[in-house]
Amino acid sequence: MTIVPPTPGEPRRPQGPRDPGDAWVIAEDGTKYWGAFGAAGLLAVDEVRGVLLQKRVEWSHFGGTWGIPGGALHQGEDAVTGALRESQEEAAVPPGAVRPLLTRVLDLEIWQYTTLVATVEEPFVPEIADPESLELRWVPLDEVEDLPLHPGFGAAWPELRRLLDLRPVIVVDVANVVGSVPNGWWKDRAGASTRVLERLARLAADGIAGDRFGEPNVRWFPWIVAVLEGEARAAEDVDGITVMRADGLGDEAIVAAVALAGHEEDLAPRVTVVTSDRELQDRVSALGATPRGAHWITELLGE
């Protein structure tokens, strides 16, 4: 493996100073990969308009083909941050307009490319914001393969398309999780529940290794629904997760949450219910959800 900067006169981001990551990684067989620290791109998914694709300018690597906004990672930059930065620089994707759904990593040992798949939360009009794009277009999912695709994106698209229909949902029986750790929670049920909600929000933001859902090389950013009952209903709301306060028994609210998630927008979410209540586990299993004991989530939370 060799790392070399762009050759003199080679057009790469003409504006601004060059970051150390803006260099080619060259494999022993001569194949070139852009990004000394790897690269990342954003696959923005709009439920109505499709996916945002970029037609690459002719002088770029595989110019004239269609792919996603992306590029070399900066030194010390994580892939999610890099993908969002690149999409802002190349397509003017507004901050906060998309919500991460998953990352998928192509690991070639000498080089990695991370695709961040994110759903559009606030619709926006993409704009060509630098010289690397000929066109930006929302493309319906069933028309993507009709375009001349960048070889890397073309190879990844079938797997990405399959993953788009999977939206992991985790429904958490908070009372059960709180009660699984003997830390004095009974003295302040609402406070103990708030602390669990805060840790769940961090988990949702950090993501969960795809192995937990049978998907290696993927990291999911799941929709987490936390169900509160009794005194715990006084817990504070926490950004990043959905909090349901049960009017009566939490079991009924959990079953309702599973039924709702299972029919959300005709997608096929993988619903995991975290509870150690055997009867409730049987009920959600009958609805097609996967039950897990409280330890499943406490391990992820670092309890």
pLDDT digits (tens, 9 = 90+) for 34-56: 999 999 999 999 999 999 999 98
Check whether residue 144 and residue 199 sit in a common domain. no
Check whether residue 130 and residue 38 sit in a common domain. yes
Check whether residue 121 and residue 198 sit in a common domain. no
Check whether residue 292 and residue 226 sit in a common domain. yes
Q: Total structural domains in the chain?
A: 2
Task: Residue 92: give its domain's CATH number.
Answer: 3.90.79.10
Boundary (domain end) residue, out of 108, 137, 164:
164
The residue range of the domain holding 19 is 2-164
Task: State the pLDDT at residue 223.
Answer: 92
Check whether residue 66 and residue 204 sit in a common domain. no
Check whether residue 148 and residue 6 sit in a common domain. yes
Check whether residue 175 and residue 294 sit in a common domain. yes
Boundary (domain end) residue, out of 109, 135, 164:
164
Check whether residue 19 and residue 142 sit in a common domain. yes
Check whether residue 72 and residue 160 sit in a common domain. yes
Check whether residue 225 and residue 274 sit in a common domain. yes
Task: State the pLDDT at residue 121.
Answer: 95
Task: State the pLDDT at residue 165.
Answer: 87
Check whether residue 108 and residue 186 sit in a common domain. no
Task: State the pLDDT at residue 283.
Answer: 94
Check whether residue 153 and residue 273 sit in a common domain. no
User: Which two three-digit tokens encode residue 100?
Assistant: 């991460």
Q: pTM of this prediction?
A: 0.86
> pLDDT 10s per residue in the chain (303 long)?
555 555 544 444 444 557 899 999 999 898 989 999 999 999 999 999 999 999 988 777 777 999 999 999 999 999 999 999 999 999 999 999 999 999 999 999 999 999 999 999 999 999 998 888 899 999 999 999 999 999 999 999 999 999 998 889 999 999 999 988 777 787 888 999 999 999 999 999 999 999 888 888 899 999 999 999 999 999 999 999 999 999 988 899 999 989 887 665 555 678 999 999 999 999 999 998 999 999 999 999 986
